[in-house]
């Protein structure tokens, strides 16, 4: 097993920079997810780690060794892609053993490894099938099996679940996580889906436009987003964001442009007199008979919880209640804000000001 380090890594396609100096330190055995909107450079970064793309600047290390110019086959990595590209004319067993055959592994050893991987992935009974005889989830498992048999230092995944339907995606998420808990192989996993990142990762790297916005555990990012981008990207329904300023007379009141006053429990030093953004997650708006009146715009019962959009002053706020709500659109609900969970950001830089 091996850790992975990116130090000031850069990549340009022609004159166009797409990775603009990325530093990431991945410990041996860690499950790290690179997440960010489409086009932010996730696949490019992963492909540089795999050796499929040249590095324009900086250094990438695997197991302490600089791999910048090392060919892919010498990096001891195995990659699983979105389009798992199984060989249609080969059985599951042959697909999984193919790379071992190419590397001229002894037959008995290859069989042992394929059996082991098939056992872990629940493919034992499907070894003689062809890819067309498998479901999407089974094909995805074969693609993972191909990676497992190689027993690499590092697993790389690029959006491996994107082609699966929603239900299967949830099931495979748990399978991949369990697989990592068993094998404990260092894993770098790319996705644009923040829920996938939150549910699976030991550590998340949020990327945006070729730079790293924040690195942390899923709950670090959720509870203390470093800036507006991370605050808005992580969490679903998304964080509410309201522009305004602290009341200089009483900085525990945040004044929206329409005059609505919202509570702040710990006004950060230096926040008075600046343009701010008030960040409020939907679950920290609570039903409260003595609270502020809001008008229901949309109500969405999910069974488990109630999602709704509430017009409070001039702002449409997204709310999530554990309770069921019987009122309908146009009616009034009274709500209170849990001020201890409010985030304040500097409107200009986007930087988090609350600690
Ligand atoms: N071979 C290439 N030539 C030119 N531009 C590329 C190439 N590959 C990717 N890009 C550009 O680099 C940026 C990052 O792409 P990519 O790493 O695929 O993003 P992501 O995986 O986060 O969606 C995009 O703007 C994309 O258009
Ligand atoms: Mg990609």
Beta strands 154-158 and 77-80 are parallel
Answer whether 38 contacts ligand 1 (Cβ < 6 A): yes
Answer whether 18 contacts ligand 1 (Cβ < 6 A): yes
Task: Quote the pTM value.
Answer: 0.94
Residue minimizing CA distance to atom 18 of ligand 1: 43
Q: Which CATH class is domain 4-232?
A: alpha beta
Return the ligand number nearest the Cα of 34: 1
Residue 24: closest CA among 47, 51, 58: 58
Instruction: Using the mean position of ligand 2's atoms as its centre, give its distance from the Cα of residue 18 in Å.
Output: 12
Where b means 16+ CB within 10 Å and e means fewer, 326-335 reads: eeeeeeebeb
pLDDT in tens, the chain (355 residues): 799 999 999 999 999 999 999 999 999 999 999 999 999 999 999 999 999 999 999 999 999 999 999 999 999 999 998 777 899 999 999 999 998 988 888 999 999 999 999 998 889 999 999 999 999 889 989 998 999 999 999 999 999 988 888 888 898 899 899 999 999 999 999 999 999 999 999 999 999 999 999 999 999 999 999 999 999 999 999 999 999 999 999 999 999 999 999 999 989 988 999 999 999 999 999 999 999 999 999 999 999 999 999 999 999 999 999 999 999 999 999 999 999 999 999 999 999 999 8
- Paired strand residues for 298: 309
Q: Where in the chain is the domain with CATH 2.40.50.140?
A: 238-346
> What burial class does residue 279 get, using C-beta atoms within 10 Å of its C-beta: 0-12 exposed, 13-18 middle, 19+ buried?
buried
CATH of 238-346, one of 2.40.50.140, 1.20.1250.20, 3.90.420.10, 3.20.20.70: 2.40.50.140
Probe target for ligand 1 pocket from 10, 13, 193, with the most ligand atoms within 8 Å of CB: 13
Sheet harboring 240-247: ordered strands across?
261-263, 250-255, 240-247, 276-280, 343-346
Q: Where in the chain is the domain with CATH 3.40.50.300?
A: 4-232
Answer whether 13 contacts ligand 1 (Cβ < 6 A): yes
Which residues, including other chains, have CB under 8 Å from residue 317's CB and lie 6 or more apart? 240, 242, 280, 282, 285, 294, 309, 310, 311
Answer whether 315 contacts ligand 1 (Cβ < 6 A): no
Summary count for the chain: helices (H), strands (E): 8, 19
Residue minimizing CA distance to atom 3 of ligand 1: 13
Answer whether 336 contacts ligand 1 (Cβ < 6 A): no
Answer whether 40 contacts ligand 1 (Cβ < 6 A): yes
């Amino acid at each position: 097993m091996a850790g992975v380090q990116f130090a000031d890594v850069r990549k340009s396609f022609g004159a166009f920079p797409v990775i603009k100096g990325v530093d990431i330190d991945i410990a041996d055995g860690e499950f790290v997810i690179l997440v960010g909107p489409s086009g932010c450079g996730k696949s490019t970064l992963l492909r540089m780690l795999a050796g499929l793309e040249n590095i324009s600047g900086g250094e990438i290390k695997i197991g302490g060794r600089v791999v910048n110019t090392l060919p892919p086959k010498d990096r001891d990595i195995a990659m699983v892609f979105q389009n798992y590209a199984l060989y249609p004319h080969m059985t599951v067993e042959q697909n999984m053993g193919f790379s071992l055959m190419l590397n001229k592994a002894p037959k008995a050893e290859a069989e042992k490894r394929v059996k082991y991987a098939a056992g872990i992935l629940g493919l034992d009974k499907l070894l003689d099938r062809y890819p067309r005889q498998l479901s999407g989830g089974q094909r995805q498992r074969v693609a993972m099996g191909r990676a497992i048999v190689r027993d690499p230092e590092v697993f790389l995944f690029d959006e491996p679940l994107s082609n699966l339907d929603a239900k299967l995606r949830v099931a495979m998420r748990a399978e991949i996580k369990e697989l990592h808990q068993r094998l404990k192989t260092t894993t770098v996993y790319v996705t644009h889906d923040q829920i996938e990142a939150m549910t699976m990762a030991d550590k998340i790297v949020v990327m945006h436009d070729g730079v790293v916005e924040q690195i942390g555990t899923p709950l670090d990012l959720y509870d203390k987003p470093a800036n507006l981008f991370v605050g808005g990207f992580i969490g679903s329904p998304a964080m509410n964001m309201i522009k305004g300023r602290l009341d200089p007379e009483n900085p525990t009141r945040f004044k929206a442009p329409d005059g609505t006053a919202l509570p702040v429990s710990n006004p950060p030093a230096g926040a008075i007199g600046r343009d701010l953004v008030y960040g409020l997650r939907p679950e920290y708006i609570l039903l409260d008979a003595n609270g502020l009146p809001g008008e229901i715009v949309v109500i969405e019962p999910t069974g488990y919880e109630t999602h709704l959009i509430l017009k409070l002053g001039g702002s449409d706020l997204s709310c999530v209640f554990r309770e069921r709500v019987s009122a309908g659109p146009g009616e009034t609900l009274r709500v209170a804000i849990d001020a201890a969970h409010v985030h304040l950001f500097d409107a200009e830089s986007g930087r988090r000001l609350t600690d």
